Amino acid sequence: MSPHTSSAPVPSKQYDVLVVGAGPAGLMASTCLTTYGLSVLHIDDRPTTTAAGRADGLQPRTLEVLRNIGSVKVEEGKSSLAKRMVSQGVRVYSVAFWDPTETEQLARTSRAPSCPDFIDVVDNYTLLLHQGLIENAFVDEIQQRRQLLSAEKLKPAPHGGVFRPYTFISCETDAAGDSEYPVKAVIQNSETLVHHEVRAKYLMGCDGAKSQVKRCISAPSDTPGGEPKTIKMLGDVSDIIFAVVDVEVSTDFPDILSKCMIHSKDAGSIMVIPREDNLVRLYVQLQKGEGQAGQAHIERDKATLDICFERAKKIFEPFTLEFGRVAWFSVYQIGQRIANHYTLDNRIFLAGDAVHTHSPKAGQGMNISLLDAYSWSWRINLVEKGMADPAILLPTYEQERKSVAEELLRFDSEYTKLFAGRAPNQSTVDLEVEAKHKAVGAVDPVLFIETFKKNSAFATGCGAIYFAGPLSALPDSELVKSWPKQGVFNPPGTRLIAGQRLLPGKITRAVDANQVRIQQEIRMDGAFRIHVFAGRFKSSLPRLEAFASFLASSSSFHNFHRPAASTPLASVLPTQTPSSRHISHEQPPLAANPFFKYLTVFATPYTEWDVDQVPAALRQVRDYVYSDDIFDRRVAEAGVDAPLHRKYGVDVEKGSIIVVRPDGYVGAIVELSEDGHAALNAYFAGFLKGGQ
Amino acid sequence: MSPHTSSAPVPSKQYDVLVVGAGPAGLMASTCLTTYGLSVLHIDDRPTTTAAGRADGLQPRTLEVLRNIGSVKVEEGKSSLAKRMVSQGVRVYSVAFWDPTETEQLARTSRAPSCPDFIDVVDNYTLLLHQGLIENAFVDEIQQRRQLLSAEKLKPAPHGGVFRPYTFISCETDAAGDSEYPVKAVIQNSETLVHHEVRAKYLMGCDGAKSQVKRCISAPSDTPGGEPKTIKMLGDVSDIIFAVVDVEVSTDFPDILSKCMIHSKDAGSIMVIPREDNLVRLYVQLQKGEGQAGQAHIERDKATLDICFERAKKIFEPFTLEFGRVAWFSVYQIGQRIANHYTLDNRIFLAGDAVHTHSPKAGQGMNISLLDAYSWSWRINLVEKGMADPAILLPTYEQERKSVAEELLRFDSEYTKLFAGRAPNQSTVDLEVEAKHKAVGAVDPVLFIETFKKNSAFATGCGAIYFAGPLSALPDSELVKSWPKQGVFNPPGTRLIAGQRLLPGKITRAVDANQVRIQQEIRMDGAFRIHVFAGRFKSSLPRLEAFASFLASSSSFHNFHRPAASTPLASVLPTQTPSSRHISHEQPPLAANPFFKYLTVFATPYTEWDVDQVPAALRQVRDYVYSDDIFDRRVAEAGVDAPLHRKYGVDVEKGSIIVVRPDGYVGAIVELSEDGHAALNAYFAGFLKGGQ
Ligand SMILES: Cc1cc2nc3c(=O)[nH]c(=O)nc-3n(C[C@H](O)[C@H](O)[C@H](O)COP(=O)(O)OP(=O)(O)OC[C@H]3O[C@@H](n4cnc5c(N)ncnc54)[C@H](O)[C@@H]3O)c2cc1C
Ligand SMILES: Cc1cc2nc3c(=O)[nH]c(=O)nc-3n(C[C@H](O)[C@H](O)[C@H](O)COP(=O)(O)OP(=O)(O)OC[C@H]3O[C@@H](n4cnc5c(N)ncnc54)[C@H](O)[C@@H]3O)c2cc1C
């Protein structure tokens, strides 16, 4: 990158949000906040994006999210965010397990899919590419989105919006000094050493494992009367040391193009990960000597590349391993730690490695960090636009994301222990493998594989589940428990679950017969997606008319929860409007609310009805009317007759309304009935503000 | 584009191929020839690529081909050829038919899919984007590929390799003057008016409907004793005039986002095509007055935009139509014409609009032009590399492509007549439509729809079939008819057909478990793809060993048909070699021949066997070993048990060998047996040269 020159932009004094750190989490936060039209000051103390190495795997759920973020209109020939990464990376579909057996020094004892088929996701693989390529893709996308910002929100910034190298020095929440911009922070240009004081409404600390933001806010606060709240990392620093190397190899080991877990008899273990650019990543467990006695671990500063190579060769025996170009080398000490809080005051937040660290084995670090920031941003947007009550909505960030991180750590430590050959002696496990495959090493392969499989839903990111709360109308949520009538929430037969992601599926857009993916029809734009699964066309019309009248009434959530008139936009993305695609239209019956989008899906093929027969409020955007008539092998028995209704467990004679949050998670499922309308009102009233 | 400056490159004196015209056909030729490592002089008399309008639709088969052409390693963030077009275009899945009915002035009487489900293709839609966007994508891809040319073949040229504006003046075949470079041509820089004489081995005239190349070679030749051969266009110039306009509209016509055929009662017809960039294309039939009496057509030069708009409004009645920005306007006179020859001497060739013109209604012009050039190029490559006998191989270009064009014209004129409301009175047709839908206009909608459906296989490009000949070992080919033993070619049960494209399917690559598309595994690289469908793993091994020994023998086609030692490459694309992906390997048992690639597909899942158990000759490139275990809804009954074997009609107990030509067409299907080996030898001996 070019050195800092006097013509380079300098930070302004005031922003909606200050984002510290431009690793994966920070870049995701910037991308989202920019999409929502907020002004962002983004800083990082590194002069450039990551050049090589570090985190490497994008999981299926992360890819689904990246596809949903989509791309704004790009230059001719430019690739979109997710497609760009997919085209640069390498796909891993399966993991091979290699162990010593009774007859062989090393043999493949099993294989497991990285994304087992029971997980319903489009990108059913792990995508491997180094962190820098991911960062670059984000930077370019942020650049494109910044061009759509309103003049008032667009402040000067370098390409991609990140000021670098700029170091975060300190911050505090000082509502007395400026109640609208209570966060006061000091940052420093790392080259000129000039300090800047900036003000923001919120600060997001994505500054990694050694977070300075975390340190700043962890000083005991002097809340009068209360216990001093500080942020502490809970968990262990492990003494297991791994060397990580991205290298070209030449070998006769047959599975070198697969992801492999190799457990040698005495020499330790290796994880092999195929990489882009003809590289292989090796995670090599480092220990002093051979055998049980030698399992004391060498010290971190003695872990050289030569030791790593030597150890790798030992573990690979009897296969040969020659090394070529080294793209990256690092040494990793596994710590399983998680912060007790992600925020102390709902003004200064933390995300990513700043609040959780763990072994790289599960390939989760970057994924969960990205999704932290993704998950936080839409809440800030709702609050910023005056839609939501910050006291209710903002704490759900920590509630949801911390529980996911805790799950991850549980999984990760189980996994790591196994990987390090420290599994408890499982003589009781029934070994159903062939004698040839029976392992004689320190790790029990059967237990290992079981653990692997049990956790794969979680590992793909698709198993990240949010518990009952104001945002997830689960049977055990306060709202649903106290609801007077049974079956209005989560009608009988429903197979979607609040707090889980919307399952993917294809539907036909009636207006142009395009076959589209329901989970990608609405880009990440900050809005709730209200999917009206109407059931059969004819019988649904009275129910739809009733829903349309309800929406148009002043008491509906649609009209009650509205952004302040001065800040109407949910995002800078172009919105489909009645007139945006040629169709001239009568006066729309529903005053548009950018935070609610309605998609109506019929169980009857679009060839048997007409968009104009649909109640006007539900075809206000004609594009959002669909039929459910595309074969899905997961509900093969349905053929082309409403497979998605069946997958979601929606009765085609009754219909349901499925609320999907801006992050793609199901919020609530209610009856398509008057009771259901009341239930929707109650669901949204649980966290949104009204009566503006 | 920048004006011609003195520093601009000038053409050299000698090239492998001179390509005249940089429309779709010429750009495809350049892309292919560059990929094959040949030196190309490419000229066009327009200063830039097409700015707006003209041809607009890419058909499913064309997209399949573009995906197969793929992309060479591109700059970070750059999109590949096909993906770029797909992301810029609009998809059309269905066509709506609007006609007058007994009760309504205009009503939707039917709908039909643009790519009916019985057509087995991945991109099951027509992609719409204007010709210039397609040209730009090619130009950028050619630029990338040129960087891979050997120094000797890389001659100076502007971005994308096209010299413009340069006008083709004349050419002749003058073997006496230079037997290696017999084609002598004169071109002119249209700005400086400087003439250049250039020599080439071949000339491809892709200079459109008014082809000057065609005119040059059409002068009666003085072949002694023979009838003078000239190139004539056969067919009619129709008097039907259409105006074509790309325009923004505002309307209450509900299907404006679909492709529509609108036949008004008296005012003529319109085809509506949704376009990228918020445009709609209207093909408006122009005629003088209303009603039967007014059907005399207005003269071409009187067809103004205003007349077109006025007419369009009439045809759309009772719907309203308002016009906004006009991106392009043109007037079209339909001619259904085809050349009697595509070449006279197998040195100077023609492709695209230079040899066939037709109405734009079927959306075929550009597609067939692209595929002409695609189809021609690999033949030139085989001849140029000394692999094929030009006297046998080169005439197959005209044989195959002319018959496809003839089919197209038959289809097109049938279609156009119907569209123009000139269908013969079909009172005999059984009208099975509801009374409400009965048309009272000049066009019989039932006949129209039947024609439409009947032709849809052809319209998607997937129905383009090549007849028996040296390249297509069909039952009625000389080779197969005279073959002593039945069932060696096209074994019983075979469902693939020589002369048709390989049906698509997914398989699992054993070496990394990647789920891949068989039709896209080998990029367009000039090689024949020998798909060994092995059947069940264990029982196949003896047959595979026999095939491997056969290949290694000196009498196999593999060893008999080899390029001259000095020109070994089939293409400039990077090839998978034994060592290219980490695996160190024993001495390969088979001396590589770049024109034959072997893909081995087992009916048994890859988890049940090991790549190293496969005979060494067939795992020489370890990537090309697969298992057939991915669900395909078209053979749903197979589940995950060898669905592709079943789709192709390969007996899992016996196996088959499927030869796919460099253009993705099936050439021959033979038994996996000693008889089959002999049959393969005979197939290749039918058009390849041997004993180099
Ligand atoms: C050396 C190393 C190797 C790793 N190897 C792997 C691996 O092999 N596999 C794997 O899955 N994960 C690995 N990780 C972890 C993975 O990179 C993280 O999980 C992921 O990057 C988390 O993203 P993040 O955005 O939260 O933090 P980071 O990516 O760490 O980003 C934090 C950013 O904040 C910046 N920053 C820090 N302090 C300040 C400050 N005071 N002022 C301004 N900017 C600041 C940093 O420069 C950095 O750019 C590795 C991490 C490191 C550091
Ligand atoms: C005005 C117009 C409108 C059209 N509208 C439609 C439509 O609506 N729908 C549709 O499907 N198809 C349409 N077409 C046809 C479609 O564009 C062609 O089928 C398609 O472009 C064929 O590709 P080609 O490469 O064979 O020829 P072209 O695209 O015509 O390319 C020929 C190229 O050769 C160049 N050239 C010609 N003579 C010389 C010379 N002597 N020296 C150097 N260069 C020369 C030309 O400038 C041109 O760039 C239209 C064509 C034209 C001309």
Q: pLDDT band at residue B408, thresholds of 50, 70 and 90?
A: confident
Alpha-carbon separation of residue B654 from A331, B162, B367 (angstroms): 53, 51, 38
DSSP string, B551-590: HHSTTSHHHHS---TT---S-SSPPP-TTTTSB--SPPSS
Mean pLDDT of A576-599: 77
Q: Based on the domain organization, do A440 and A524 belong to the same domain?
A: no
Best mutation target among A322, A517, A582 (most B Cβ atoms within 10 Å) is: A582
Q: Based on the domain organization, do B500 and B380 belong to the same domain?
A: no
Mean pLDDT of B240-255: 90
Q: Each residue of A434-479: pLDDT tens digit?
A: 333 444 455 566 776 667 666 777 889 988 999 999 999 999 999 9
**Domain holding B582: CATH number?**
3.40.30.20
Choosing from B381, B398, B415, the residue where a domain stops is B398
Residue B292 has a pLDDT of: 44
Task: Out of A250, A580, A623, name the one closest to residue B584 (CB).
Answer: A250
pLDDT at B378 over 80: yes
Lookup: tokens for A286: 């480092």
Residue B161 has a pLDDT of: 96
Residue of higher predicted confidence among B552 and A239:
B552
Q: Each residue of A255-270: pLDDT tens digit?
A: 999 999 999 988 888 9
Mean pLDDT of B426-432: 32
Residue A1 has a pLDDT of: 41
Residues 6+ apart with CB under 8 A from B57: B92, B126, B127, B128, B273, B363, B366, B367
**Structural domain total, chain A:** 3
ipTM of the complex: 0.89
Residue A419 has a pLDDT of: 58
Q: pLDDT band at residue A433, thresholds of 50, 70 and 90?
A: very low
A515 Cα: distance to centroid of ligand 2 (angstroms)? 32
Query: Is any ligand 1 atom within 6 A of the Cβ of residue A663?
Result: no
pLDDT at B6 over 60: no
Residue B340 has a pLDDT of: 95
Q: Each residue of B589-624: pLDDT tens digit?
A: 888 899 999 999 999 999 999 999 999 999 988 999
Q: Is there a domain that residue A272 lies in? A: yes
Q: Based on the domain organization, do A608 and A551 belong to the same domain?
A: yes
Q: Based on the domain organization, do B389 and B515 belong to the same domain?
A: no
Residues 6+ apart with CB under 8 A from B192: B4
A354 Cα: distance to centroid of ligand 1 (angstroms)? 9
Lookup: tokens for B302: 């009187």
Whether A91 contacts A126, CB under 8 Å: yes
Residue B426 has a pLDDT of: 35
Q: What one-character DSSP code corresponds to residue A588?
A: P
Residue A247 has a pLDDT of: 95
Q: Percent helix, strand and coil across chain B, each rounded to 5? A: 30, 25, 45
Residue B241 has a pLDDT of: 78
Q: Each residue of A600-624: pLDDT tens digit?
A: 999 999 999 999 999 999 998 899 9
Within 8 A of B133 by CB-CB distance, chain A residues are: 76
Cα B175 from chain centroid (whole Å): 32
Ramachandran area for residue A388 (φ above 0: left; ψ -120 to 50: alpha; else beta)? beta
Q: Is there a domain that residue B244 lies in? A: no
Share of chain A above pLDDT 90, in %: 70
Residue A300 has a pLDDT of: 66
Q: Each residue of A33-43: pLDDT tens digit?
A: 999 999 999 99
Domain encompassing residue A381: 14-89+129-232+340-388
Range from A395-404, A456-465, A534-543, B257-266 carrying the lowest mean pLDDT:
A456-465
- DSSP H or E segment with residue B201: strand B195-205
**Domain holding B344: CATH number?**
3.50.50.60
Mean pLDDT of A138-158: 94
**Chain B residue at shortest CA distance from A273:** B512
Residue B227 has a pLDDT of: 58
Whether A359 contacts A282, CB under 8 Å: no
Q: Based on the domain organization, do B387 and B513 belong to the same domain?
A: no
Cis peptide before B318 (omega within 30 of 0): yes
**Chain A residue at shortest CA distance from B324:** A582
Give the distance from residue A313's alpha carbon to the nearest chain B alpha carbon, in angstroms: 15
Q: pLDDT band at residue B220, thresholds of 50, 70 and 90?
A: low
Mean of per-residue pLDDT scores for chain A? 88
Q: Based on the domain organization, do A228 and A250 belong to the same domain?
A: no
Q: Is there a domain that residue A396 lies in? A: no
Mean pLDDT of A390-403: 97
B354 Cα: distance to centroid of ligand 2 (angstroms)? 9
pLDDT at A324 over 80: yes
Nearest CA to ligand 1 atom 15: A55
Q: Each residue of A52-74: pLDDT tens digit?
A: 888 878 999 999 999 999 988 75
Residue A448 has a pLDDT of: 66
Cβ separation B280–A582 shorter than 8 A: yes
Q: Based on the domain organization, do A443 and A555 belong to the same domain?
A: no
Q: pLDDT band at residue B128, thresholds of 50, 70 and 90?
A: very high
pLDDT at A424 over 50: no
Cα B53 from chain centroid (whole Å): 21
Residue B290 has a pLDDT of: 46
Q: CA-to-CA distance for B489 and B671, rounded, in angstroms?
A: 7
Q: CA-to-CA distance for A274 and A256, rounded, in angstroms?
A: 7
Whether A211 contacts A352, CB under 8 Å: no
Strand order in the sheet with A259-263: A107-113, A94-99, A259-263, A269-274, A280-286, A233-251, A321-339, A356-357
**Backbone angles phi and psi of A613, in degrees to 5:** -80, -15
Q: pLDDT band at residue B303, thresholds of 50, 70 and 90?
A: confident
Residue B2 has a pLDDT of: 44
Among candidates B403, B526, B399, which has minimal Cα distance to B469? B399
Ligand 2 atom closest to residue B209's alpha carbon, by position in its atom list: 30
**Chain B residue at shortest CA distance from A79:** B79
Q: Based on the domain organization, do B501 and B392 belong to the same domain?
A: no
Choosing from B357, B383, B398, the residue where a domain stops is B398
Q: Each residue of B443-472: pLDDT tens digit?
A: 566 776 667 666 777 889 988 999 999 999
Q: Based on the domain organization, do A492 and A571 belong to the same domain?
A: yes
Task: Out of A91, A92, A257, name the one closest to residue B581 (CB).
Answer: A257
pLDDT at B550 over 50: yes
Residue A266 has a pLDDT of: 87
Q: CA-to-CA distance for B142 and B135, rounded, in angstroms?
A: 11
Residue B427 has a pLDDT of: 33
Q: Based on the domain organization, do A75 and A182 belong to the same domain?
A: yes
Range from A171-180, B230-239, B349-358, B514-523 carrying the lowest mean pLDDT:
B230-239
Q: Is there a domain that residue B281 lies in? A: no
Residue A692 has a pLDDT of: 59
Q: Is there a domain that residue A446 lies in? A: yes
Ligand nearest to the CA of B206: 2
Choosing from A421, A456, A491, the residue where a domain stops is A456
Q: Is there a domain that residue B291 lies in? A: no
List the helix and strand counts (H, then E) for chain A: 16, 25
pLDDT at B8 over 50: yes
Q: pLDDT band at residue A369, thresholds of 50, 70 and 90?
A: very high
Mean pLDDT of A388-410: 93
Ligand nearest to the CA of A357: 1
Whether A382 contacts A362, CB under 8 Å: no
Q: Each residue of B479-502: pLDDT tens digit?
A: 999 999 999 999 999 999 999 999
Residue of higher predicted confidence among A70 and A545:
A545
Cβ atoms < 10 Å from Cβ of B691 = 6
Mean pLDDT of B679-691: 93
Q: Based on the domain organization, do A376 and A427 belong to the same domain?
A: no
Strand order in the sheet with B356-357: B107-113, B94-99, B259-263, B269-274, B280-286, B233-251, B321-339, B356-357
Residue of higher predicted confidence among B502 and A237:
B502
Q: Is there a domain that residue A530 lies in? A: yes
Give the distance from residue B581's alpha carbon to the nearest chain A alpha carbon, in angstroms: 7
Residue A459 has a pLDDT of: 84
Mean pLDDT of B288-295: 45
Lookup: tokens for A92: 């891993």
Whether A96 contacts A255, CB under 8 Å: yes
Q: Based on the domain organization, do A297 and A381 belong to the same domain?
A: no
**Domain holding A433: CATH number?**
3.30.9.10
Share of chain B above pLDDT 90, in %: 70
Among candidates B465, B504, B453, which has minimal Cα distance to B115? B453
Alpha-carbon separation of residue B421 from A389, A654, A672, B284, B357 (angstroms): 64, 46, 47, 13, 21
Lookup: tokens for A305: 């590349």
DSSP string, B462-521: TT----SBTTB--TTSHHHHT-SSTTSBS-TT----TTSBPPP-EEEETTT--EEEGGGS
Lookup: tokens for A610: 């007409």
Residue B422 has a pLDDT of: 37
Residue A335 has a pLDDT of: 73
Lookup: tokens for B484: 């002593």
A129 Cα: distance to centroid of ligand 1 (angstroms)? 15
Q: Is there a domain that residue A81 lies in? A: yes
Mean of per-residue pLDDT scores for chain B? 88
**Backbone angles phi and psi of B459, in degrees to 5:** -65, -30
Cβ separation A136–B633 shorter than 8 A: no
pLDDT at A276 over 70: yes
**Chain A residue at shortest CA distance from B606:** A111
Whether B66 contacts B82, CB under 8 Å: yes
Whether B656 contacts B531, CB under 8 Å: no
DSSP string, A154-222: ----SGGGEETTEEEEEEEE-TTT-SSS-EEEEEEETTT--EEEEEEEEEEE---TT-HHHHHHHSPP-
Q: What one-character DSSP code corresponds to residue A524?
A: S
Ligand 2 atom closest to residue B26's alpha carbon, by position in its atom list: 25
